[in-house]
């Protein structure tokens, strides 16, 4: 009989226990996402000596610290640019980036769009909790209209950022969104993202009861999870309703956040292309070679 | 791509031993000679030629050139590449240097070897993009927040653009610190003769990789294998499972952000690892200091008109000398103290409103007269303008 894998066994294998306890609050979704990653890593049998976890600043960016592997905890918003350099120096490494919505979609937006455009061979796991949790609940660029934040005390009037749509439009090889209320699909999705050459990104909708929930009548974690159930929909279901549903059903569905795999394509990654360029130059190595 | 320095390939790409080239291109040559295998850059006048040169040459020596989305991304990719095992550099000018400041501090805090070239132009803000200046000298030292120790070199000619870039890599690798090459638009856009050193004459220092047992290795403490405050380098992917953070961290690299002694211990080690070696680092050129009574203290492009003014004065029998600082940071204060004790006057010509004159004053005040000789606006001092400071001597 094969060995039974349990979350406990995975934790023992992959966690850097010296760093415990974590900084996360009760009800935080970061642990759930980390768990998905561990399951995916286990199923892929990824070599942890050849895997680097990179992050920026924020609660989710603390995750690499809890993983027993190389980790680079960088400056706010810049994790993808740092990761680009690591991958350039050693393309044999698997690079997994943990980032938050403020880190990735706010301050780090420019690095995100260009890494996606270049199809840099890294996996971005963006944990979207609609808020700047670590600094106490300021308005994030992903926060739904009307959200209350310490810096939007009268309700958010800005349109939220749909990061998956953006990254998809940039031609990234793999784009998906899930919520922490999805039990199994995310594990498969993280596996697909890690295996994918070129740029891959998964957005996780994840609760922050402390900084976001309390201010938005979702402080109770059960309510928070129910909010995700009520406000997300699988892409296939969304498409069906939009095609065949009644007007009432369409009206109810149109503003829900779609979950699933938005894009799964095969374009050569940046470093694959770069290697070809270097080979081409070696073949016709110009003599003398000044300028 | 995984890189192995190939001297024959590098020399094939660089070409003839003696060339007449731009300062910016000499910086590229220096990088290639040093074994730079990653360059992340962004176009900016007057440093674009460095980026362009790297785009042409680095792929040909099997290194990786990347044009990043901005200067923040450039320095970030450089630091990442360094942890991936590359010798990495970027090049920029004032506005880009300002954008890099946060990650400059990150490199210092995480003890990441890397080289930042700043081909300075006038500021503040966009200033005069095509014209040279020396307005960022203090920024190299104080531009990022918090306490750290800067290492910065200032080339005065095109040959030094190449030599100092090699030296910058050596110092970065030796001390595990970011190192700045503080060139300026005048030198960066100057064409001069350079001689490419033969392989046997080239001194190349590489970081000391972590080799000891993985369970015993401590990543952020004095070296466990040598008598040095600089720890051995656990390159990502070599199985050391190192956590690297810009947060104040303990010896294991784990965040330790709420206790005063942890911070003091870390920051004192990463600063004194450099200042302890001040005598070894100090790199100055001395001209006529045996008899001089009035002395120019100079660096970078400004050393050139100062030297001419000095020669004009000496032709008339005046006792003028010059101390040229090749390494600006850490500041060679002992040389200044020694000088101040034997001369009447120190004149500090700079293409800014007076920056390096401040540390000169700090160490020479009370011992001799100190005169700032500023000129701004993107024009170098003319020799006769500096000669005026010598009249009546």
Q: A113 to chain B: nearest residue by CA? A: B69
String of b and e for A186-195 (b: at least 16 CB within 10 Å)? bbebbbbbbe
pLDDT for A6: 84
Across-strand partners of A174? A200, A264
Higher-scoring residue by pLDDT: A1, B142: B142
Helices (H), B62-189: 71-83, 94-109, 137-142, 158-175, 185-188
SS3 B83: helix
* Residue of B14, B64, B234 lying closest to A289 (CB–CB): B14
Opening angle at CA B263, ends A26 and B80, nearest 5? 75
Q: HSE of B122 in the Cβ direction (CA atoms, 13 Å)?
A: 15
Best CA proximity match to A204, nearest among A226, A178, A235: A178
Query: Can you point out the beta strands (E) in A140-271?
Result: 174-179, 200-205, 232-234, 257-264
Q: Is residue A289 part of a domain?
A: no
Minimum CA–CA partner of B78 in chain A: A85
| Interface check B90 vs A, CB under 8 A | no
The predicted pLDDT at position B7 comes to 97
Specify the pLDDT at position B35: 98
Q: What is the CATH number for A86? A: 3.40.50.970
CB contacts < 8 A (A, B) = 177
Say which DSSP state A211 is in: I
CATH classification number, B7-201, choose in 3.40.50.970, 3.60.10.10, 2.40.50.110, 2.60.40.10: 3.40.50.970
- pLDDT tens profile B55-68: 999 999 999 999 99
pLDDT, residue A289, reads: 47
Within-domain flag for A33: yes
The yes-or-no verdict on residue B9 having pLDDT over 80 is yes
Asked if B15 has any chain A CB less than 8 Å from its own CB, the reply is: yes
Confidence of residue B210 (pLDDT cuts 50, 70, 90): very high
Which chain A residue shows the shortest CA-CA distance from B86? A89
Whether residue A290 is contained in a domain is answered as: no
Distance CA A71, CA A57 (A): 13
The pLDDT of residue A286: 54
A233: β partners? A258
The pTM of the full predicted model, rounded to 2 decimals, is: 0.97
Would you say A150 and A133 are in contact if contact means Cβ atoms under 8 Å apart? no
Q: What distance separates the 2 farthest-apart alpha carbons in chain B? A: 70
Q: Which residues on chain A are in Cβ contact (under 8 Å) with B14?
A: 289-290
**B367, pLDDT greater than 70:** yes
Report the pLDDT value the prediction gives residue B382, as an integer from 0 to 100. 98
Cβ separation of B82 and A89 shorter than 8 Å? yes
A90–B84 CB contact, under 8 Å: yes
Tell me, what's the ipTM? 0.97
Identify whether A2 is part of a domain.
no
Boundaries of every domain in chain B: 7-201, 285-390
User: A291 lies in a domain?
Assistant: no
Per-residue model confidence as pLDDT tens for chain A (291 residues): 667 778 889 999 999 999 989 999 999 999 999 999 999 999 999 999 999 999 999 999 999 999 999 999 999 999 999 999 999 999 999 999 999 999 999 999 999 999 999 999 999 999 999 999 999 999 999 999 999 999 999 999 999 999 999 999 999 999 999 999 998 999 999 999 999 999 999 999 999 999 999 999 999 999 999 999 999 999 999 999 999 999 999 999 999 999 999 999 999 999 999 999 999 999 977 544 444
Please report, for residues A129, A136, A156, A216, the alpha-carbon distance to residue A203 in angstroms, rounded to integers and kept in the order given.
10, 22, 21, 21
Q: Average model confidence (pLDDT) for chain B? A: 98
How many C-beta atoms surround the C-beta of residue A230 within 10 A? 9
Residue A177 pLDDT: 98
Residues of A in contact with B236 (CB under 8 A): 52, 70, 72, 86, 90, 93
B239 shares contact with chain A (CB less than 8 Å): yes
* Same fold? B7-201, B285-390: yes
Q: Does the distance separating the beta carbons of B243 and A71 come in below 8 Å?
A: yes
**Which residues 299-338 of chain B have a CB within 8 Å of chain A?**
none
Please tell me the predicted confidence (pLDDT) of residue B276.
98
Fold observed for domain B285-390 = Rossmann fold (3.40.50)
Partner-chain residue, chosen from B74, B80, B245, that has the shortest CB–CB distance to A86: B80
| Domain-embedded: residue A1 | no
Hey, are the CB atoms on B244 and A274 less than 8 Å from each other?
no
Smallest CA–CA distance, residue B355 to chain A, in Å, is 29
In a domain, A288, yes or no: no
- Distance (Å, rounded) from C-alpha B40 to C-alpha B66? 5
The answer, for A211 touching chain B at a CB cutoff of 8 Å, is no
Q: Does B70 touch chain A (CB under 8 A)?
A: yes
**How many domains would you assign to chain A?**
1
Closest residue by Cα to residue A77 from A96, A56, A95, A58: A56
Q: Do A126 and A203 form a contact (C-beta atoms < 8 A)?
A: yes
Residues of A in contact with B238 (CB under 8 A): 49
**Residues across chain B:** 393
């Amino acid at each position: 009989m094969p060995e039974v894998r349990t979350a406990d066994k995975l934790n023992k294998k992959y966690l850097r226990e010296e760093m415990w306890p974590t900084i996360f609050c009760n009800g935080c979704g970061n642990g759930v996402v980390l768990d998905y990653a561990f399951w995916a890593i286990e199923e892929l049998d990824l070599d942890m000596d050849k895997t680097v976890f990179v992050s920026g600043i924020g609660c989710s960016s603390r995750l690499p610290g809890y993983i027993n592997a190389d980790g680079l905890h960088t400056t706010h918003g810049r994790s993808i640019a740092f990761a680009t350099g690591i991958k350039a120096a050693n393309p044999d490494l698997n690079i997994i980036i943990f980032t938050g919505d403020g880190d990735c979609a706010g301050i780090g937006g420019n690095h995100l769009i260009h890494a996606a455009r270049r199809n840099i061979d890294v996996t971005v796991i963006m944990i979207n909790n609609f808020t700047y949790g670590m600094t106490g609940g300021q308005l994030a660029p992903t926060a739904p209209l009307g959200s209350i934040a310490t810096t939007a005390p009268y309700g958010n009037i800005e349109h939220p950022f749909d990061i998956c749509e953006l990254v998809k439009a940039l031609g990234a090889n793999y784009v998906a969104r899930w919520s922490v209320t999805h039990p199994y699909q995310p594990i498969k999705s993280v596996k697909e993202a890690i295996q994918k050459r070129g740029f891959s990104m998964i957005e996780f909708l994840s609760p922050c009861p402390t900084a976001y929930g309390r201010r938005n009548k979702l402080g109770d974690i059960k309510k928070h999870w129910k909010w995700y159930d009520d406000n997300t929909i699988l892409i296939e279901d969304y498409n069906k309703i939009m095609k065949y549903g009644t007007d009432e059903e369409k009206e109810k569905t149109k503003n829900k956040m779609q979950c699933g795999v938005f894009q799964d394509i095969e374009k050569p990654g940046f470093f694959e292309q770069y290697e070809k360029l270097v080979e081409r130059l070696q073949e016709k190595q110009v003599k003398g070679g000044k300028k | 791509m995984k890189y192995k320095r190939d001297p024959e390939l590098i020399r094939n790409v660089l070409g003839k031993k003696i060339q007449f080239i731009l300062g910016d291109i000499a910086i590229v040559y220096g990088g290639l000679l040093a074994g730079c295998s990653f360059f992340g850059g962004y176009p900016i006048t007057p440093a674009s030629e460095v980026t362009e040169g790297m785009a042409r040459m680095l792929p040909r020596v099997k290194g990786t050139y990347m044009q990043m989305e901005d200067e923040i991304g450039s320095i970030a990719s450089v630091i990442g590449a360094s942890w991936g095992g590359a010798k990495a550099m970027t090049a920029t000018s004032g506005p880009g240097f300002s954008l890099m400041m946060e990650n400059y501090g990150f490199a210092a805090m995480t003890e990441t070897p890397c080289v930042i070239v700043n081909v300075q132009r006038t500021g503040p803000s966009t200033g005069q993009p095509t014209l040279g200046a020396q307005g960022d000298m203090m920024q190299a030292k104080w531009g990022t927040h918090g306490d750290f120790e800067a290492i910065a070199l200032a080339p005065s000619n095109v040959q030094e653009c190449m030599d100092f870039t090699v030296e910058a890599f050596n110092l970065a690798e030796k001390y595990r610190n970011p190192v700045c090459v503080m060139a300026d638009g005048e030198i960066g856009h100057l064409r001069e003769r350079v001689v490419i050193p033969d392989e046997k004459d080239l001194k190349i220092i590489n970081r000391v990789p972590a080799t000891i047992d993985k369970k015993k290795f401590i990543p952020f403490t004095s070296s466990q294998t040598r008598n040095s405050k600089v720890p051995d380098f656990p390159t990502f992917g070599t199985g050391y499972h190192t956590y690297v953070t810009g947060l104040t961290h303990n010896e294991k690299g784990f965040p330790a952000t709420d206790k005063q002694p942890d911070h003091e211990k870390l920051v004192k080690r990463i600063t004194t690892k450099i200042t302890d070696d001040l005598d070894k680092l100090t790199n100055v050129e001395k001209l006529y200091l045996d008899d001089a009574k009035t002395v120019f203290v100079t660096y970078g492009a400004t050393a050139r008109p100062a030297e001419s003014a000095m020669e004009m004065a000496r032709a008339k029998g005046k006792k003028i000398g010059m101390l040229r600082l090749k390494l600006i940071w850490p500041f060679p204060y002992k040389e200044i103290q020694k000088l101040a004790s034997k001369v009447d006057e120190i004149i500090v010509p700079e293409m800014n409103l007076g920056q390096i004159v401040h540390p000169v004053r700090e160490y020479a005040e009370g011992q001799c007269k100190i005169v700032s000789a500023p000129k701004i606006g993107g024009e170098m001092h003319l020799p006769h303008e500096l000669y005026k400071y010598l009249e009546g001597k």
